[in-house]
Amino acid sequence: MRKGAIYLFYSIIIPVYNNEVSDVRRCLDSFYRSSFNDFEILVMDDGSKKECARTLDQIIIEYPHTSVYHLAHGGAARTRNEGIHRAKGTYICFADADDMVTRQFLLDLAKLKKYACDYDVVYGLVHYVKQGTEREENPHIDSLELKKIDAKGYCELYRHMFDLGSPLYRKDNGYVSRGPVARIVKRELAEKHLFKSELVLGEDELWNLDLLEATDKLAVVYHEWYLYIENLMSTSRKPNPDFIGQHRDLLVSMLPYMQKHEGSLEGAFANRVFESLHAIINGYYLTPLEKEGFLKSMREFNQMVKNYPYTLITYKYANRGGVKTLIKFALMKAGCLLTVYKLKRIMLKR
């Protein structure tokens, strides 16, 4: 259902899938902490249970220019795409239902309206906050401090979207993320470059790369825009064999982007591969509920990295990724990478 047909400058898309009501309220409340209200909020319900869906219908009444759309469950990419199709604003932005935006973000949105014709994408910074911890936001900054991204900055940003490794897109504890949040995107551009719904993992990373392929009208604001609320319970999730295939599919999907910029992204791609291996090890092979014996897991892991796309990582790629990546590459080739992770975990528990 849609409340009103008033034109508003920004469309904020918030996917929801069985989220806690308190989290959804916290997210929505964060958008109404200033006098700026030139936005609509589209709450996209991705097939939540009936109780959650009913609650969403009830609570949106409390928030101006907020609508909820109930969809069949289709995953994050499809849900965001549906939000893009329904958005009416000049720019769109995304938030996850268990996170929140900062007051600084709202202040900057008001100022950014005057630059509507200049930029297709404007990036801000994300900060991590552990769930249940109190954290004061940084002091508000009145000046916008908008910086156009030049040709050199574009190349750095492209690499950054692979491995988050560019100092140019970090400030203090904040950074430009490779997710869909903490940025505003011109709706016309987003409509032409939707999220790849065939991917279960990393569809937002490829979306960012698609945007970079489509435009160089980019800018960055080095302000804290978004608070990512880290869920401490996620580390104890049940092992999921599909997790391995999901990372493989993501890495394979990233290859064409690397090949378009041959000679400049090998190190960043190597870093991204070892980031995926880190996630696979901690999210599958070394999870608390993992039942297989370690020797069997080690054999399985060592066999996995002998297959595509992990075999693409050569010494040249790893060397360009930096010392840490080169060490991980050597450990992987020696069949010791999983063992080192296991030993490190044992030492941390002591």
Domain spans of the chain?
10-232, 237-349
- The β-bridge relationship of strands 121-130 and 218-230 is parallel
Check: CB of residue 208 under 8 Å from CB of residue 95: no
Q: What are phi and psi of 39, to 5 degrees?
A: -155, 155
User: Quick one: tokens of 4?
Assistant: 């009103």
Q: Fill in the amino acid letter for 217.
A: K
Cα separation, 246 vs 81, whole angstroms: 20
pLDDT value of residue 253: 97
Residue 40 to residues 43, 66, 86, 130, 188: CA-CA distances in angstroms?
Answer: 10, 6, 11, 28, 17
Regarding the domain with residue range 10-232, which homologous superfamily does it belong to in the CATH classification?
Answer: Spore Coat Polysaccharide Biosynthesis Protein SpsA; Chain A (3.90.550.10)
Instruction: With residue 12 as reference, give the H or E element that holds it.
Output: strand 10-16
pLDDT value of residue 1: 41
Could you tell me which of 234, 298, 307 has the C-alpha nearest to residue 273? 307
pLDDT value of residue 235: 38
Q: Given the structure tokens 């005057």, which residue do they identify?
A: 114
List per-block mean pLDDT (blocks of 10 residues) for the chain, which spans 350 residues: 64 97 96 93 97 96 96 97 98 97 96 90 95 71 92 97 97 96 98 96 97 98 95 55 91 96 93 97 80 84 97 96 97 97 87
pLDDT value of residue 346: 87
pLDDT value of residue 141: 85
Q: Given the structure tokens 């200049």, which residue do they identify?
A: 118
- pTM for the model stands at 0.92
pLDDT value of residue 137: 73
Q: What are phi and psi of 198, to 5 degrees?
A: -75, -15
